[in-house]
Amino acid sequence: MKNKPIHTKKSLEKKRRKLRNKSTPAERFLWSHLRLKQLDGLRFQRQHSINNYIVDFYCAAYQLIIELDGEVHNNPIAEERDSKRDADLEALGFKVLRFENKMAFENLEHIFDWIRDAVKEKGNLK
């Protein structure tokens, strides 16, 4: 039996496009530094779907997901949902890094360091 594809589901295409068009300032800022392989030649996609989830940024080469969280994520219900989502994605072999929106503006180099560390960690598993 053939495995069902889990990436870029056609049914989520409109929602992905809508999310790209309504990106938060933090997402736009981080994307301006990730796009076009600016970070160590890593290719990222934004608003990429995996199963029924749409992730903010995705690097396929290292199965790395970057999520930026705003205030809407700072409540117990959202935190539980995010935790389940991360566990589901990690069970599929993805590495999820979460950052608060403000970190994109205040600590961009630290985000890059964490991304590099995750790439090294995933790279050693290949």
**Ordered structural domains, the chain, with CATH:** 10-125 (3.40.960.10)
Residue matched to tokens 């069970």: 91
Alpha carbons 89 and 65: distance in angstroms, whole number: 9
Q: Give pTM, 2 decimals.
A: 0.89
Alpha carbons 58 and 46: distance in angstroms, whole number: 6
Alpha carbons 101 and 29: distance in angstroms, whole number: 10
Sheet with strand 64-69: strands edge to edge? 45-50, 53-59, 64-69, 95-100
pLDDT, tens only, 24-82:
999 999 999 999 999 999 999 999 999 999 999 999 999 999 999 886 656 788 889 99
User: How would residue 94 be classed by pLDDT, with cut points 50, 70 and 90?
Assistant: very high
